[in-house]
């Protein structure tokens, strides 16, 4: 029995106004004038650009007016150029409660960074500029090859690959990815994969096959360890500097100044945060209703911000900051000569993502708990590590000076 391919939706901006989806659809979104499915109508005037909606079902193209597009049965494949240049406008409406809950992630999101880096480094231009990372990715190919099937090479990425949960550690982020509800996996993969060839693994991925999700999570873990882990302290350090600057901006001009200073693709027009994002997101207005916003910066985020909005949670806005071109080869040997191999390894462990206790550092570094405690005490006295008690456990983290000393390695 033949299976009917899943229905998916693609929205592309048309060149200008006046190209509506049909009678009573002046804004071209396929809904009655002024309405967008799943979101409240906007009290603002319609955007100056309009979009054309095309539905793909049973290998036929169906325009927004509901009639089949003339021509042979065919598979809709937006060209890479169209996917890269088409832009949609997402408007996030922030009330007083949302403004009180605007937060800035003070560390990179480990799991989201892996997904974004995997896509970014498949761009030949990025790979040429980051040869060390590209070489690491090539060397790890046998372990991370599934990601070439599961992570789109450009453009839109399924939202669950950059989860809002899991900022505290890589494993927490991977757990959030793995626990995504099957219906969300199916819907988001169908949307993100409208312009890629079908492979057996992608077909299973689109069906939310649990085994494929396990394969993906394992490959993401290998990717972090093989490609990003040596550079993680530098990414944490750079993010810390940017957060410090954001704090100074907040002290000078408040939340309004922080939002107004966001990079290209994000525009603060009180009370609306406008986001130029990927085609499949659609043009819509989203009222956050007190959930707030979490701003997450990543040097691998790509040319366009990504937004994840879930009921009862802060809007998760990922955008590009800094430049991955600043990444330089590791200088582990010099740090090891300065501190000694074991002590340098202890410092490197507490500079990485996650929650680091005396016992976990000992286990990760392959030393005894008493030796771990001694090395941490020396590093703390030198101002390279800070420690605090959480319940009955000491938790450790590298200071800014510690991550500066480690550098990109």
Residue 282 or residue 146, greater confidence: 146
Domain-located, residue 91: no
Phi, psi at 123, each rounded to 5°:
-80, 120
For residues 283 and 183, membership in a common domain is answered with no
Residue 377 or residue 77, greater confidence: 377
Domain-located, residue 223: yes
Domain-located, residue 179: yes
Domain-located, residue 83: no
For residues 120 and 15, membership in a common domain is answered with no
Q: Give percent above pLDDT 70 in the chain.
A: 74
Domain-located, residue 381: yes
- 167-225, pLDDT tens digit by residue? 888 999 999 999 999 999 999 998 888 777 888 899 999 999 999 999 999 999 999 99
For residues 147 and 202, membership in a common domain is answered with yes
- Tell which residue, 369, 357, 22, has the closest CA to residue 349: 357
For residues 130 and 67, membership in a common domain is answered with no
Please provide the average confidence, as pLDDT, over all residues in the chain.
76
For residues 206 and 121, membership in a common domain is answered with yes
Distance, CA of 40 to CA of 179 (rounded, Å): 29
CATH number at residue 362: 1.10.10.10
CA distances from 13 to 31, 83, 85, 92, 182 (A): 16, 11, 9, 19, 30
SS3 assignment, position 19: coil
Mean pLDDT over 89-101 rounds to 93
CA distances from 175 to 119, 199, 217, 349, 361 (A): 20, 25, 8, 21, 22
User: Which residues span the domain enclosing 48?
Assistant: 1-76
Distance, CA of 231 to CA of 236 (rounded, Å): 9
For residues 199 and 244, membership in a common domain is answered with no
Distance, CA of 282 to CA of 284 (rounded, Å): 6
For residues 138 and 183, membership in a common domain is answered with yes
Q: Domain end: 290, 309, 325, which one? A: 325
pLDDT category of residue 279 using cuts at 50, 70 and 90: low
Domain-located, residue 120: yes
For residues 117 and 201, membership in a common domain is answered with yes
- 298-350, pLDDT tens digit by residue? 888 877 898 988 888 899 999 988 655 455 555 566 777 788 888 988 998 89
Give the number of domains in the chain. Answer: 4
What pLDDT score was predicted for residue 290?
92
Domain-located, residue 290: yes
Query: Which segment of 67-76, 121-130, 176-185, 247-256 scores lowest on mean pLDDT?
Result: 67-76
For residues 156 and 211, membership in a common domain is answered with yes
What pLDDT score was predicted for residue 47?
37
For residues 397 and 312, membership in a common domain is answered with no
Mean pLDDT over 129-146 rounds to 87
Q: Domain end: 197, 227, 257, which one? A: 227
328 contacts 408 by C-beta, under 8 angstroms:
yes
Q: Domain end: 296, 325, 354, which one? A: 325
Phi, psi at 265, each rounded to 5°:
95, -10
Query: Which segment of 24-28, 162-166, 224-228, 393-397 scores lowest on mean pLDDT?
Result: 24-28
What pLDDT score was predicted for residue 221?
95
Distance, CA of 330 to CA of 87 (rounded, Å): 37
pLDDT category of residue 251 using cuts at 50, 70 and 90: very high
For residues 101 and 237, membership in a common domain is answered with yes
For residues 118 and 208, membership in a common domain is answered with yes
User: In the predicted model, is pLDDT for residue 71 greater than 60?
Assistant: no
Domain-located, residue 176: yes
Q: In what order do the strands lie in the sheet with 385-390?
A: 356-357, 393-398, 385-390
């Amino acid at each position: 029995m033949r299976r009917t391919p899943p229905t998916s939706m693609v929205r592309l901006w048309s060149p200008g106004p006046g190209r509506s989806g049909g009678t009573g659809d002046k804004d071209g979104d396929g809904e009655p004038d002024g309405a967008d499915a799943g979101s409240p109508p906007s009290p603002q005037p319609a955007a100056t650009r309009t979009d054309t909606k095309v539905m793909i079902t049973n290998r036929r193209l169906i325009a927004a007016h509901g009639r089949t597009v003339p021509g042979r049965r065919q598979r809709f494949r937006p060209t890479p150029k169209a996917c890269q240049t088409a832009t949609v406008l997402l408007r996030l409406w922030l009330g007083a409660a949302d403004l009180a809950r605007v937060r800035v992630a003070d560390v990179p999101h480990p799991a989201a960074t892996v997904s974004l880096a995997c896509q970014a480094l498949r761009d030949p231009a990025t790979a040429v500029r980051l040869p060390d990372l590209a070489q690491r990715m090539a060397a790890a190919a046998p372990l991370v090859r599934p990601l070439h099937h599961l992570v789109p090479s450009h453009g839109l990425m399924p939202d669950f690959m950059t989860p809002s949960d899991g900022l505290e550690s890589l494993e927490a982020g991977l757990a959030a990815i793995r626990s995504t509800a099957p219906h969300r996996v199916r819907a988001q993969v169908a949307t993100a994969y409208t312009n890629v060839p079908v492979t057996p693994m992608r077909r299973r991925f689109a069906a939310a096959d649990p085994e494929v999700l396990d394969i993906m999570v394992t490959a993401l873990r290998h990717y972090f360890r093989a490609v990003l882990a040596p550079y993680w302290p530098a990414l944490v350090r750079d993010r810390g500097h940017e957060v410090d600057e954001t704090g100074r901006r907040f002290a000078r001009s408040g939340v309004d100044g922080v939002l107004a200073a966001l990079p290209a693709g994000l525009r603060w027009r009180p009370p609306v945060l406008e986001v130029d994002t990927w085609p499949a997101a659609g043009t819509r207005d989203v009222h956050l209703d007190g959930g707030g916003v979490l701003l997450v910066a990543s040097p691998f985020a790509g040319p366009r911000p990504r937004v994840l909005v879930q009921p009862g949670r802060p809007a998760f806005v990922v955008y590009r900051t800094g430049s991955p071109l600043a990444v330089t080869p590791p200088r582990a040997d010099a740090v090891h000569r300065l501190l000694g191999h074991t002590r340098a390894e202890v410092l490197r462990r507490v500079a990485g993502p996650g929650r680091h206790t005396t016992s976990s550092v000992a286990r990760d570094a392959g030393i005894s708990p008493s030796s771990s405690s001694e090395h941490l005490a020396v590093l703390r006295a030198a101002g390279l590590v800070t420690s605090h008690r959480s319940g009955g456990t000491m938790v450790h983290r590298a200071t800014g000076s510690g991550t500066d000393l480690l550098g990109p390695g």
